[in-house]
Structures are given as structure tokens and as C-alpha cells.
Amino acid sequence: MTDEAFELEQGQRSLETERRLARRRRFIQQLQQQGLVLVLIIVVCIMWASSPYFMSKYNLLTAASVVSILGIMAVTETLLVIAAEIDISIGGVMALVSVVVGILVGRGLNVWLASAIGMAVAALVGVINGVITVQFKINSLVTTLGTFSIATGLAYVLSGTTTVQISGSGFGFLGSGYIATIPSTVYFFIGIWLVGAFIARYTTLGRHIYATGDNIDAADRSGIRPNRIRIGLFIFNSVAAGFAGLVVTSELSSSAPQLGDPYLLAVVTAVILGGASLSGGRGRLSGTLLAVAILGVVQNGFALLEFSSYLQNLVTGCLLILAVLVDQFVRRAER
């Protein structure tokens, strides 16, 4: 056999191996999606049987409104995790944006201008996260843990641990408005989810995000510029967290430094439970959508049944561990 024939045969074998792995990945992803659908159906049935108010229109709309805030951040966090990074500073960003807006409005600034400044602060946190992680090659978990502590600390220091009442023309619509009987927060979530899903599935940027998470060195050699993509995703994620902070601030009509505390664990759980791999390169926003729905049903059902918030944290933590274990199993099955 000549060298050219040998190289051709090796290339064909390698191509066939890649195709086989791709088919296996698609099969596993389909199983994950079907599993999430089954879990959602089971959870809905349990909550429906446990409370006669669960399936009422008012309760479903309320639950959708509450979980939409979680979903807004889960969308951007999913894209970041697909790129093999993670951002746990989101709760701190929410709190800091809320407090900044509250302080500025308290000093007489227009609420919308104050909101724009708050969003700029959120973007700045994203830049800091991205630059430290990418340029200084610091693990994103460590980087964002640090910025979470800084942002949360600043929120408490600037606010003096007190809440500030906020009002302004049309500002309440962000968190408490309705369009055709549907809460405005649901439209925000759906809009951001559609944009994220379109980017991930149908655009060159989406393919580059997956390539970056799958093999950053290969992506760099192919001219993708993964560093820019990762920094951009950090900024995008922080801006989404800042917007979520504005929505909650609008809903409460006040700013509070503890505002983002409930969301960190829930967002990460939704992303991993939805099928995004912590090692990068894999994940679907359809899975994130199902995971957000599951967490929303659990949280709402627990509230209706008047279960302790500590029990909710326990269940969310168990779901997170389960999701990580499933991720490890999937990674082994793909090899």
C-alpha cells in the first residue's frame, strides 16, 4: 500500500469515527430532552394533585412571571457555559445595578437615565470578568466568585443595607406590566430566549461558540478568535443579569442589596440540568427552557404548599448535583 493510499484510508476512518460520535451525541441529546419533558410532566402532575390552585390561570401567569427572571439569565449563562466558561457573579450584578439605580433616582435623576447607568455598570462587570479570565488566564469560577463578592459588598456599602423606594413614568411596566393579560416579564424572557436560540443554532457566531467550548486551541488555529467570543459572552451575561435586576427592582418598586441572593443557584442549576456541559461544547437552549420550566413548577408548587424556602434550596441543590452527575455520565458515554 502506498503512503497516499494509507493516508486516504486513515482519513476515511477518522471521518467515519467523527460521524459515529456525532450520531451518538445527537442520540444522547434527544434522550436528555425527552427525559426533561418526562420530568416536567411528572412534576406538573404532582403539583396539580397537591394543590387545587396550581392549574388556575392566575397562578400559572404568576409562576411564569417569576420564573421568567430566572430564565433571562439562564439563556445567556447557557451560551457562556457552552463556551466552557461560567459566571457566578450574576446575583451580585443584579444587586449592584438595583442599588445604583436606587441611589441615582433618590438624588433626583430620571429613572430611565439611572437605569441606563446601571446597565453600563453591569457591562463593566462583564468586561472585568472577561478580561481577567481571558487575558490573565484565570479560571472563570474564581474570577466571577471574586467579582460576585465585590459587587455584593458594594451594593451593601452603597445602600447602607437599606432599601430605596423607586418610582417613575412607565418604570413599573418592566416588572409588573401586562400585555394581553400576559406579564411583561414573560415577553422579555421569550424574546431573549428566541434571540439566544437563533444565535446558537443558525448563525456563524453560534457555531463559533460551540467550537470555542469544544476545543479552544483548534478554534484559535481556525481563525475563530475565541478570546473575543468569551469576553463578549461575559459582557452579554452581565448585561442580562443587570436587566434582570432592573426587572425585579421595578416589580418591587424599590432597590435592595439582597435582591440577587435567590438566583445564583437556580440559574446554574437550570443551565446544567438543561444539558449544557461544564466542560463546554455541548448544550441546547431548548433544554434550558425545559429546565427553567421544571424549576418554576417546583418553586411555585412549594410556595402554594407553604413549604419552607430552605426546603426549596435543598431540592434545588439536589437537582444541581444530579445534573452534574448526568453530565459526567454523558461525557463518558460520548467517548
On the CB side of 248, CA atoms within 13 Å amount to: 30
| The three cell numbers locating residue 223 | 481563525
Question: If you write DSSP's letter for every residue of 139-173 in order, what string do you get?
Answer: -HHHHHHHHHHHHHHHHHHHHTT--EE---TTTTH
The three-class DSSP label of residue 137 is coil
pLDDT at 323: 82
Asked if residue 219 belongs to a domain, the reply is yes
Asked if residue 155 belongs to a domain, the reply is yes
Asked if residue 197 belongs to a domain, the reply is yes
Asked if residue 19 belongs to a domain, the reply is no
pLDDT at 6: 44
Tell me the C-alpha to C-alpha distance, in Å, between residue 48 and each of 54, 62, 300, 333: 6, 15, 11, 35
Asked if residue 134 belongs to a domain, the reply is yes
Tell me the C-alpha to C-alpha distance, in Å, between residue 137 and each of 129, 141, 162, 227: 11, 12, 37, 10
Under 8 Å between Cβ of 176 and 66 = no
Q: How many CB atoms sit inside 10 A of residue 316's CB?
A: 19
Cα separation of 293 and 40, whole Å?
7
Residue 334 DSSP one-character state: H
pLDDT at 24: 67
Cα separation of 37 and 175, whole Å?
29
Cα separation of 237 and 126, whole Å?
7
The three-class DSSP label of residue 107 is coil
Helix 285-304 vs helix 3-50: angle between axes, to the nearest 10 degrees?
Answer: 20
Question: If you write DSSP's letter for every residue of 201-262 in order, what string do you get?
Answer: HHSHHHHHHHHHHH-HHHHHHTT--HHHHHHHHHHHHHHHHHHHHHHHHHHHTEE-TTTTTT
Under 8 Å between Cβ of 285 and 292 = no
Asked if residue 51 belongs to a domain, the reply is yes
| The three cell numbers locating residue 8 | 486516504
Residue 73 domain boundaries: 25-334
Cα separation of 19 and 22, whole Å?
5
Asked if residue 176 belongs to a domain, the reply is yes
Cα separation of 319 and 324, whole Å?
9
Domain containing 234 — which CATH number?
1.10.3470
- Number of domains composing the chain: 1
pLDDT at 311: 84
Under 8 Å between Cβ of 114 and 100 = yes
Q: CA geometry: angle at 243 spanning 161 and 316, to 5°? A: 75
Q: What is the mean pLDDT of each run of 10 residues along the chain (335 residues)?
A: 51 60 67 82 92 91 93 97 97 96 90 95 98 96 97 93 77 89 95 97 95 92 94 98 96 90 90 90 92 94 85 85 79 64
pLDDT at 150: 97
Amino acid at 183: P
pTM as predicted? 0.90
Cα separation of 149 and 152, whole Å?
5
Taking the alpha carbons at both ends of the chain, their separation in whole angstroms is 30
| The three cell numbers locating residue 7 | 493516508
Asked if residue 204 belongs to a domain, the reply is yes
